Chain A
């Protein structure tokens, strides 16, 4: 019997396969993918509420929304494989998030295998970071395949290895960063959001069963990752590399919170959704620039605020979001995490604030290099088109919505007063 879960999982996969046949008609193909992702989003909104819980609902919605928005904002026409992969990934992701117990792990194997295949197809073996991708995702597949046959404790550890690869934790972040740098087209924008969501979801299932003795070590790893990301972002000359380091900073902050005492679910979900959506938006903007000017270094850009005013406004808003300015979700998520931490003022927080300051330095530098300065008159400038503007605007609107009404938006209604620090929804509590 076909259930609504089957429809949600099958629709994008089937849609992706049909879309392949439309490869010769770029406009029709894009329209088809857009139609599928919109239907998927609509179906999710109409999904029977008993199947989704407080955690899966926002994550599923975010994946569906980002797939829809990225197809809409996709600047290149004609690359069927990227859109195919995007839909295929989202179908597998729905399968993982909606499958009970161990059944979902097979979807995860599929996702990781597809990533390895894509990396093989890009042929960037000379890239020094490629071995990390093959190594860590290969190891993850191995862990996933063997986990059903292991004893409980080992099974949890095997799955934990998979999840710290998906939601990057230092020193397991190499694979994630590598794919953000090396993958073509729309995929970095999608995977930057998609993989951490999967990792976070998996982690929520097993975290309470992990030995508590691991926490201090993992906390040190998170803080190290934070500093590595913040420091390395200083040196990057390419937007994708800089954004990948900023991503590491975001996920390290999330890990710091998760590993802290009495971590709660809602602030972590808000931060996860807002950070991933911001990254996705920034990668999409970068894709827009890359499709117009090629893969240039930051130094080669300049003056786009005057030449591409619509892009300038949207890009600066996304940078503001990444810098953690109000009223975007990143700010709200971080503030709620900081306030709901029982021992919120500690050396860890001081390091986080320091790293945040470093990121607040590099992101405006990035913005200034791209937007400000004299206009390059020898370049042919073409401002963002309707699709790109609508998709980036949607991302910004959702980020603001997450920022100003996070609990209502996510259906996390059991929310206490800001000034009473005890919260009811607490998946992480041991």
Chain B
């Protein structure tokens, strides 16, 4: 209630306090942060907390059953939200000074924090959906903070439309869940969904029949896709950079993660539907690939950041699709904190750059990379170390474990394999980046590469296991999700082979580049590369496709209106 009351107080006392209203927000958020920490402690050592809010006031209401359900997942989310909110309040108090929308911003900031709190603490699907919708609306108002700036308003509108699409499909899922299982309270819903295998049909007489759990799970997932910017509903995120910096930080650190939270909250439901988990994995993988590829081709730093977030969100969703729900939570906490600090420090970097009387001296790395004439260095030691760490060592370990020591890679070890897979891909990316930045013959570089591998692999294993044990303490629950999410035979191997080919190709390319050699390719490859580059720099023309489709639909409506509808009253 505190952030909500703070939002109301800010709105009501706007004329009396002026810019002093930020203190109301800050004090309330700080207090909420402390309470969140206490909640985290309470649920860590005890059972979940269930509070029924205003039971008498809403006793007659069919719609509203307000309550708070604080379990470990909720408590972690609350600490993250409150923490980020406090930082953003502190930052914004000075950042937005003399802004005409200062009071409105702080009021909305308190409201959105409150909405996020209620959303993560919802004891039933309907309450979660209600706050899910409100989140989109308040974010729209925050994104359109500069109301006279038309590009900001257009970007905010685009976000709202994508959110509304997701919301309405989500609503379809909620209605269907209620129709099939007669309840929206989480424990009862999961229990009934597990107990009854129900299918339903859209048409009378049994036409267009679907499996109940899968349909509910997929419909709700569309809601998650819209908020977490998953392909093809990702189009809103790159355009939102016109909003104030604190809004970007809040959005990238908190709001886009709501899809990951939703999937975690409904993990028992998704755990009943392998089809939906496989679909989630596919969407996540596609989003990661597209987001990362587009990011590499962008020449606008803000758009790069936007697409980077899209790729990270894809990664997070992909983890959920593989059954690693808890790992997704760890991932978005880490990503959220990283992105928030990135956005909040961006302003001061720009400010200091503008105050610099002369162009600053570039760093050593930048000098090496930006001088095409400089002789390319090649270190056999570093190159071999990189290749070994990213490919040969993991494959040898896999071979030794599987074929020499006969450690089974299925059932109980399924989770560990998933964690190792993500750790391998991430550390390979980090090691290749390290090599590109400092390709000199040095034991230090080799040490850094090894440290990166060890750190990332152990972080993944440790964090994945720790979060799994913490969030899903019931025996066998986390393992069950991994098992259900298991990809069809051969598909996981295909991904491993694909990643291996990508890593080998990168090392060959780096070798050839450093040696000043060219890899002979047929001419069509170059043409294809150019076309691919153009395709990605234009964001795969998804925006254009949407715009074109919208124009066509509107043109069709106009023709329909002229020929048919206009003759109606």
A contact set with B: CB distance below 8 Å: 129, 132, 171, 173-175, 177-178, 228, 231-232, 234-235, 266-267, 303, 305-306, 316, 320, 323, 325-327, 331-332, 335-336, 338-340, 343-347, 349-350, 353, 356-357, 360-361, 364-365, 368, 371-375, 404-408, 412-413, 415-421
Q: How far is the CA of A303 from the CA of B146 in the complex (A)?
A: 11
Task: Give 7 A-B pairs besides A171-B569, A231-B561 with Cβ atoms closer than 8 angstroms.
Answer: A306-B148, A326-B130, A331-B130, A335-B63, A360-B168, A372-B147, A418-B62
**Proximity string of chain B (150-174) to chain A, C-beta cutoff 8 Å, 1 when within and 0 when not:** 1001000100110011001101100
Whether A305 pairs with B61 at a CB distance below 8 angstroms is no
A406 and B61 contact, Cβ closer than 8 Å, known pairs A306-B147, A338-B175: yes
Whether B137 pairs with A419 at a CB distance below 8 angstroms is no
Shortest CB distance A93–B (Å): 24
Q: How far is the CA of A137 from the CA of B165 in the complex (A)?
A: 38
Q: Which residues of B contact A345 (CB under 8 A)?
A: 172, 175-176, 179, 200, 202
Q: Which residues of A contact B179 (CB under 8 A)?
A: 343-345
A405 and B57 contact, Cβ closer than 8 Å, known pairs A174-B568, A345-B202, A372-B144: yes
Residue in contact with B171 in the complex, picked from A174, A353, A407, CB distance below 8 Å: A353
The 7 lowest CB-CB distance pairs between A and B, nearest first, are: A174-B569, A407-B60, A372-B153, A360-B164, A326-B130, A132-B569, A419-B183
Whether B153 pairs with A373 at a CB distance below 8 angstroms is yes
Q: Which residues of A contact B346 (CB under 8 A)?
A: none
B477 located at the interface, meaning its Cβ lies under 8 Å from any Cβ of chain A in the complex? no
A361 and B164 contact, Cβ closer than 8 Å, known pairs A234-B557, A344-B179: yes
Q: Which residues of B contact A177 (CB under 8 A)?
A: 569
Whether A364 pairs with B175 at a CB distance below 8 angstroms is no
Residue of A177, A325, A412 with most chain B CB atoms under a 10 A cut-off: A325
Residue in contact with A421 in the complex, picked from B58, B172, B182, CB distance below 8 Å: B182
Whether B557 pairs with A407 at a CB distance below 8 angstroms is no
Whether A232 pairs with B565 at a CB distance below 8 angstroms is yes
B126 located at the interface, meaning its Cβ lies under 8 Å from any Cβ of chain A in the complex? yes
Whether A339 pairs with B148 at a CB distance below 8 angstroms is no
Q: How far is the CA of A111 from the CA of B81 in the complex (A)?
A: 56
Whether A413 pairs with B561 at a CB distance below 8 angstroms is no
Whether B168 pairs with A171 at a CB distance below 8 angstroms is no
Q: Report 21 cross-chain contacts, Cβ distance below 8 Å, ordered by A residue.
A: A178-B569, A228-B568, A235-B561, A325-B137, A326-B134, A338-B171, A339-B175, A343-B179, A345-B176, A346-B203, A349-B172, A353-B171, A357-B168, A368-B144, A372-B153, A373-B148, A373-B150, A404-B61, A404-B64, A407-B60, A407-B62
Q: How far is the CA of A178 from the CA of B126 in the complex (A)?
A: 38
Residue of A326, A361, A407 with most chain B CB atoms under a 10 A cut-off: A326
Whether B557 pairs with A235 at a CB distance below 8 angstroms is yes
Residue in contact with A129 in the complex, picked from B131, B133, B176, B569, CB distance below 8 Å: B569
Whether A416 pairs with B62 at a CB distance below 8 angstroms is yes
B558 located at the interface, meaning its Cβ lies under 8 Å from any Cβ of chain A in the complex? yes
Whether B157 pairs with A368 at a CB distance below 8 angstroms is yes
Q: How far is the CA of A83 from the CA of B168 in the complex (A)?
A: 40
**Proximity string of chain B (45-69) to chain A, C-beta cutoff 8 Å, 1 when within and 0 when not:** 0000000000001101111110000
Q: Which residues of A contact B561 (CB under 8 A)?
A: 231-232, 235
Q: Which residues of B contact A332 (CB under 8 A)?
A: 63-64
A364 and B147 contact, Cβ closer than 8 Å, known pairs A171-B568, A357-B165, A408-B60: no
- Closest residue of A by beta carbon distance from B66: A404
Q: How far is the CA of A10 from the CA of B148 in the complex (A)?
A: 51
Residue in contact with B130 in the complex, picked from A327, A371, A412, CB distance below 8 Å: A327
Residue in contact with B133 in the complex, picked from A325, A365, A420, CB distance below 8 Å: A325
Residue of B137, B169, B200 with most chain A CB atoms under a 10 A cut-off: B137
Whether A356 pairs with B569 at a CB distance below 8 angstroms is no
Shortest CB distance A318–B (Å): 13
Shortest CB distance A249–B (Å): 14
Q: Which residues of B contact A356 (CB under 8 A)?
A: 168
Q: Which chain B residues (168-214) contact chain A, with CB distance < 8 Å?
A: 168-169, 171-172, 175-176, 178-179, 182-185, 188, 200, 202-203
Bin the interface of chain B by size.
Answer: 35 or more
- Closest residue of B by beta carbon distance from A346: B202
Shortest CB distance B47–A (Å): 23
Shortest CB distance B250–A (Å): 20
Q: Which residues of B contact A368 (CB under 8 A)?
A: 144, 153, 157
Whether A336 pairs with B202 at a CB distance below 8 angstroms is no
- Closest residue of B by beta carbon distance from A327: B130
Q: How far is the CA of A343 from the CA of B175 in the complex (A)?
A: 10
Residue of B164, B182, B185, B202 with most chain A CB atoms under a 10 A cut-off: B164
Shortest CB distance B377–A (Å): 54
Shortest CB distance B103–A (Å): 11
Q: How far is the CA of A338 from the CA of B131 in the complex (A)?
A: 18
B554 located at the interface, meaning its Cβ lies under 8 Å from any Cβ of chain A in the complex? yes
Whether B65 pairs with A418 at a CB distance below 8 angstroms is yes
Q: How far is the CA of A430 from the CA of B553 in the complex (A)?
A: 41
Q: Which residues of B contact A365 (CB under 8 A)?
A: 157
B560 located at the interface, meaning its Cβ lies under 8 Å from any Cβ of chain A in the complex? yes
Q: How far is the CA of A401 from the CA of B79 in the complex (A)?
A: 32
B100 located at the interface, meaning its Cβ lies under 8 Å from any Cβ of chain A in the complex? yes
Q: Which residues of B contact A173 (CB under 8 A)?
A: 569
Q: How far is the CA of A228 from the CA of B161 in the complex (A)?
A: 20
- Closest residue of B by beta carbon distance from A423: B62
Q: Which chain B residues (525-569) contact chain A, with CB distance < 8 Å?
A: 554, 557-558, 560-561, 565, 568-569
Q: How far is the CA of A351 from the CA of B141 in the complex (A)?
A: 28
Q: Which chain B residues (111-162) contact chain A, with CB distance < 8 Å?
A: 126, 130-131, 133-134, 137, 140-141, 144, 147-148, 150, 153, 157, 160-161
Q: Which residues of A contact B57 (CB under 8 A)?
A: 405
Shortest CB distance A305–B (Å): 5
Q: How far is the CA of A11 from the CA of B63 in the complex (A)?
A: 37
Shortest CB distance B138–A (Å): 10
Q: Which residues of B contact A412 (CB under 8 A)?
A: 60
Shortest CB distance A54–B (Å): 13
Q: Which residues of B contact A343 (CB under 8 A)?
A: 179
Whether B61 pairs with A407 at a CB distance below 8 angstroms is yes
Q: Which residues of A contact B160 (CB under 8 A)?
A: 364
Shortest CB distance B427–A (Å): 43
A353 and B61 contact, Cβ closer than 8 Å, known pairs A234-B554, A335-B126, A419-B185: no
